A and B are shown apart, each in its own frame.
Chain A
């Protein structure tokens, strides 16, 4: 059972690698399959990081566009999904900074700026408070915590995504725990 599961995973990643190579060579169908297969991951991560359904959809679209533009430059050093995570997390951060800045520029945007949507979905989750607190953590800590716990990735995978050493991921998680104790 475990063996077949591992094989399936291996197959899947081999397929992904092949699709990436084909997309890099200009195969639009391959790219289409690739982003369709990763859209769930992108959207899910975007939602977990932003806590807002419509932001998540916007970010997911941004990420698709970025992937389209940047896939040629993907060097295959990390797993494709790690790369997608990285782009998604960066996109969320960009989006959040942008909306922060827009909030400061009280101009035409002010009226329609997405101020602070009540995070609708997480109300249903058991620990809305916890989520809010985690999302307010410093970015590195937040990313580490969400990758390791919400996305259930290994420290090694999280390190690959964050571009830092594995030990540093553990450090950030540790820091997050301390910070959170104050926040909650």
Chain B
């Protein structure tokens, strides 16, 4: 940039951002200002001739010169000093005369000087002692405004002139440490903590129950963090969302009446030679192309100031443009924003009027604070207003983490969403950006609203969620899908569900239709993996009970486990049951024999466990995970699996194999201790 000036080099100056002042420095400054103000008030209200003089003098000067105070003091003030306080003035003059010529206009020097000096000479001594004392030494420097300070200020100001250096020294470390700590704590995103699923003994707890989860937000987030060179925090890694990000080629169901069929496989665990993995895969029924379900979509868009970043509102606009392209004449779209004030940007409009919809989108701009407004209520009102029977009625909330949609209390918000959900309007959440993302709230709202939570990190991701998986996003084929697996203690001694920590259900919840669970959309695939320890293999980690009942081999010979799934059809409140035993038919002796989908899923699970520093499976090397994923790549038409392999490589660099069970900050630079 130095030698040629293609443009005005000064234009660059406006880009600099001053660092925020320290809160305490600000406080101190304001307090000092107030003290000075108070002192000044006292001084001027005191009936001294000195200040009277001073005021008159200032007034004369200003009116005479017709200019503002600061400029005039130069000649008059210097003259006053020279004439009135000759010895002191002389001293001051000699010391300042050493400074360069343009020093002549150092106005503050004189501004307050005259009154104090006058007061002193006139003998109406208000602050003579301090003035003398301070003028003498301070004359040496030209911080002259400090010179005539009255007593109260003098104590205050001890801080500033003499201790400038010290305060510098004190103030120094703070910015430094914050500067250094920054890169290792890149995100202000919040995640709900959860404990990993523990290993369970089949004898004690033969039944495992959980709700399915079709969210994928965690994978997008993890990918983004890794691509930016950070190891995501462990709570950000939800293995089930990593697994379900990818679509697998499971057997499809035949009809909408029985919307899915489980695909089962048992194969050796890649990270533990003595255990096996039980993989349960289901694929939602995909209606034939002709059946176009009407949908009524209300976009509830966060347009707060924080959305004004390239990966937020602009990306969102492009993403919605994609979505609108997918809609047809029996679909309606409305747009509501919540920001400074809630407002309807677009009344319900038929989706074929693309120009109108996209025009409304284009006019959105981020600004203002995310203030409490009736945004969500408005969105639901629009959704109910243009409700379509038998179709999808959905509010799609797009935000970077500000959930001030009008209901402050999170519980009240969930209740509200729940009541609307029961009325037939569901809610999906799309997360954008980084730094402010409130993952836990996002998940909770989407779960409550029977929708899905997705994290849109890039245009490509928007394409995946809103175009490729549009069916799953909009067309729910079964709701409240729960899975219950009962293990046969004769065959399996211990088991552990990989992931689904946040989706665990109680055993009795399975048959309770009132208990909410995950929903599955058209064409969605859901994968769950159990790590099981065969009975009698000696690989068990839990010792058998000394006084426990000796396991009686049940009659169900050869059955490893029994799978039960409950779901409700979209417009039913009564659940259906699907049952299927896990038999020896689905057992593979070698991982090389299983299908690509199984291999890939196992690699993803291993990746998730290792990335979050799990107690299980972390020993598997990155190389082995990569090799496994590579063997499970299949045709990979959309390229997501290839991308995953790249991600494994990135992770292996950021969190090398040696650094096992190291704290999360490892690999992206240590957090240095603050210097103080």
Identify the A interface with B (CB < 8 A). Answer: 23, 26, 28, 31-32, 35-36, 39-40, 43-44, 47-48, 53-58, 60-75, 77-78, 83, 86-87, 90-91, 93-95, 97-99, 101-102, 109, 112-114, 117, 120-122, 124-127, 129-131, 134, 139-140, 145-146, 148-150, 152, 163, 173, 176-177, 180-181, 184
Residues 227-259 of chain B, each 1 if its beta carbon lies under 8 Å from chain A, else 0: 000000000000000000000000000000000
Across-interface contacts of B175 in A (CB, < 8 A): 53-54, 120-121
State A146–B621 Cα separation when bound (angstroms).
56
Q: Which residues of B contact A39 (CB under 8 A)?
A: 21, 26, 29-30
* B585 interface residue (CB < 8 Å to A): no
| Interface SS majority for chain B | helix
Chain A residue at minimal CB-CB distance from B98: A101
When distances are taken between beta carbons in the complex, the residues of chain A under 8 Å from B58 are 73
Q: What per-residue 1/0 map shows which CB atoms of B57-99 lie under 8 Å from chain A?
A: 0100010000111110000000000000000000000000001
Q: Counting CB contacts under 8 A, is B659 at the interface?
A: no
B19 on the A face (CB < 8 A): yes
- Closest Cβ neighbor of A70 among chain B residues: B111
A114 to B3, CA, bound (A): 32
A31 close to B37 (CB less than 8 A): yes
Chain B 1-27, CB-CB to A under 8 Å as 1, else 0, gives: 111010001111111111101100110
Known: A65-B36, A130-B12, A150-B14. A112 touches B169 (CB 8 A): yes
Residue B580, interface by CB 8 Å:
no
A155–B107 Cα distance when bound, in Å, is 23
With A53-B171, A121-B19, A150-B14 as contacts: A163 and B71 at CB distance below 8 Å? yes
Contact of A60 among B1, B25, B156 (CB under 8 A): B25
Contact B168–A58 (Cβ < 8 Å): yes
Taking a contact as CB atoms under 8 Å apart, the answer to whether B19 and A47 are in contact is yes
Given the interface pairs A54-B167, A54-B171, A87-B108, the reply to whether A61 lies near B29 with Cβ below 8 Å is yes
Question: In the complex, are the beta carbons of A57 and B32 less than 8 A apart?
Answer: no
Which of B5, B67, B160 is the one whose CB lies under 8 Å from A62?
B160
Q: Is the CB of B32 within 8 A of A64?
A: yes
- Cβ–Cβ < 8 Å partners of A70 in chain B: 40, 69, 111-112
- B454 CB, min distance to chain A CBs, angstroms: 33
Cβ of B58 to closest chain A Cβ, rounded Å:
5
Q: Is the CB of A87 within 8 A of B44?
A: no
Residue of A nearest to B45 (CB): A26
- B:378-401 near A, CB below 8 Å: none
B25 touches A61 (CB 8 A): yes
Could you tell me the distance in whole angstroms from the C-beta of A47 to the nearest C-beta in chain B? 4
CB distance B22 to A129 under 8 Å? no
B106 contacts A by Cβ under 8 Å: yes
Contact between chains at A36 and B30 (CB < 8 Å): yes
* Cross-interface CB contact of B70 among A23, A68, A86, A130, cutoff 8 Å: A86
CB proximity of B34 to chain A, nearest CB, Å: 6
B511 within 8 A of A: no
The answer to whether B179 touches A120 (Cβ under 8 A) is yes
Chain B nearest CB from A94 CB (Å) reads 5
Structural contact, A114 and B164, CB atoms closer than 8 A: yes
Besides A70-B69, A113-B165, A150-B16, 5 more A-B contacts (Cβ < 8 Å) are A43-B18, A58-B167, A68-B36, A90-B107, A109-B165
Q: What is the minimal beta-carbon distance from A108 to any residue of chain B, in angstroms? A: 10
* Closest residue on chain A to residue B72 by CB atoms: A163
Residue of A nearest to B141 (CB): A98
- Complex interface: chain A residues within 8 A of B102 (CB): 139-140
Indicate if B311 sits at the interface (CB-CB under 8 A): no
Chain A residue with the shortest CB-CB distance to B169: A112
B residues within 8 A CB of A44? 18
Task: Give the size of the chain B interface in residues (CB under 8 angstroms).
Answer: 69
Give chain B residues whose Cβ lies under 8 Å from the Cβ of A73.
Answer: 58, 69, 111
C-alpha gap A69/B68 in the complex (Å)? 16
**In the complex, are the beta carbons of B22 and A57 less than 8 A apart?**
yes
B168 touches A47 (CB 8 A): no
Contact, CB under 8 Å: B28 / A61 = yes
With CB as the reference atom, state the residue of chain A lying closest to B176: A120
Q: Which residues of B contact A47 (CB under 8 A)?
A: 18-19
Contact between A43 and B26, CB atoms less than 8 A apart = yes
B37, B55, B70, B172: most-surrounded residue (chain A CB, <10 A):
B37
* A148→B69 CA distance, assembly (Å): 23
> Complex Cα distance A65/B153, Å?
9
Among A65, A117, A124, A150, which residue has its beta carbon within 8 angstroms of that of B168? A117
- B325 adjacent to chain A (CB < 8 Å): no
A57-B40 CB under 8 A given contacts A70-B112, A150-B13: no
- Establish whether residues B160 and A67, one from each chain, have CB atoms under 8 Å apart when the complex forms: no
Do A149 and B37 form a contact, CB below 8 Å, given A87-B108, A97-B142?
Answer: no
Complex Cα distance, B106 from A26, in Å, reads 27
Q: Which residues of B contact A98 (CB under 8 A)?
A: 141-143
Q: Is B145 an interface residue (CB 8 A)?
A: yes
Contacts of A149 in B (CB 8 A): 10-11, 13-14
| A72-B167 in contact (CB<8A) | no
B10 and A145 contact, CB distance less than 8 A: yes
Is there contact, CB below 8 Å, between B108 and A91? yes
Q: Which residues of B contact A66 (CB under 8 A)?
A: 36, 108, 145
Shortest C-beta distance, B262 to chain A (Å), equals 54
A132 to chain B, nearest CB (A): 12
The minimal Cβ–Cβ distance linking B380 to chain A, given in whole angstroms, is 30
Asked whether, in the complex, the Cβ of B160 is within 8 Å of the Cβ of A72, the reply is no
Answer whether residue B41 sits at the interface, using C-beta atoms and an 8 A cutoff: yes
Q: Which residue of A lies closest to B67 (CB)?
A: A163
Residues of A within 8 A of B164 (CB): 58, 95, 99, 114
In B151-172, which residues have CB < 8 Å from any A CB?
A: 153, 156-157, 160, 164-169, 171-172
* A184 vs B12: C-alpha distance when bound (angstroms): 14
Residues from chain A with a CB closer than 8 A to the CB of B156 are 65
Could you tell me the distance between the alpha carbons of A117 and B173 in the complex, rounded to whole angstroms? Answer: 12
Indicate whether B578 reaches chain A with its CB closer than 8 angstroms: no
Chain B residues, Cβ within 8 Å of A124 = 17
Task: List, in ascending order, chain A residues with CB within 8 A of B624's CB.
Answer: none
Closest to B172 in A: A54
Q: Which B residues touch A139, using CB under 8 A?
A: 102
A94 near B106: Cβ-Cβ < 8 Å:
yes
Bound-complex Cα distance A91 to B659 (A): 53
A113 to chain B: which residues have CB within 8 Å?
165
> Are B37 and A48 in touch, CB under 8 angstroms?
no
Given A87-B70, A113-B165, decide whether A69 and B112 contact each other with a Cβ distance below 8 A.
yes
Which chain B residue has the least Cβ–Cβ distance from A99? B164
Is B38 touching A28 in the complex (CB atoms < 8 A)?
yes
Residues of chain B within 8 A of A71, CB atoms compared: 37, 40
CB distance from A154 to the nearest CB of B (A): 14
- 30 residue pairs of the A-B complex, CB under 8 angstroms, read A28-B34, A31-B37, A35-B29, A43-B21, A48-B16, A53-B171, A56-B21, A57-B25, A65-B153, A67-B37, A68-B34, A69-B40, A69-B145, A72-B40, A74-B69, A90-B106, A99-B164, A102-B141, A112-B165, A113-B165, A121-B19, A125-B15, A126-B12, A127-B15, A130-B9, A145-B10, A145-B13, A150-B16, A152-B14, A181-B5
A57: chain B residues within 8 A (beta carbon): 21-22, 25-26, 29, 171
Cβ contacts under 8 Å, A112 to chain B: 165-166, 168-169
- Chain A residue, CB-CB nearest to B63: A75
A63 CA to B175 CA in the complex, in Å? 22
Chain B residue numbers with a CB within 8 Å of A140 are 102
Judge whether B586 is part of the interface by a CB distance below 8 angstroms: no
Q: Which chain B residues border A63 with CB–CB below 8 Å? A: 29
- Whether the pair A75, B168 counts as a contact (CB closer than 8 A) is no
Do residues B37 and A125 form an inter-chain contact, with CB atoms below 8 A? Answer: no
Contact check, B33 vs A130: say whether CB atoms are below 8 A apart.
no
Contact A90 B70, CB 8 Å, known A31-B37, A56-B21: yes
Q: Report the bound CA distance from A95 to B106 in whole Å.
A: 12
Complex Cα distance A72/B52, Å?
13
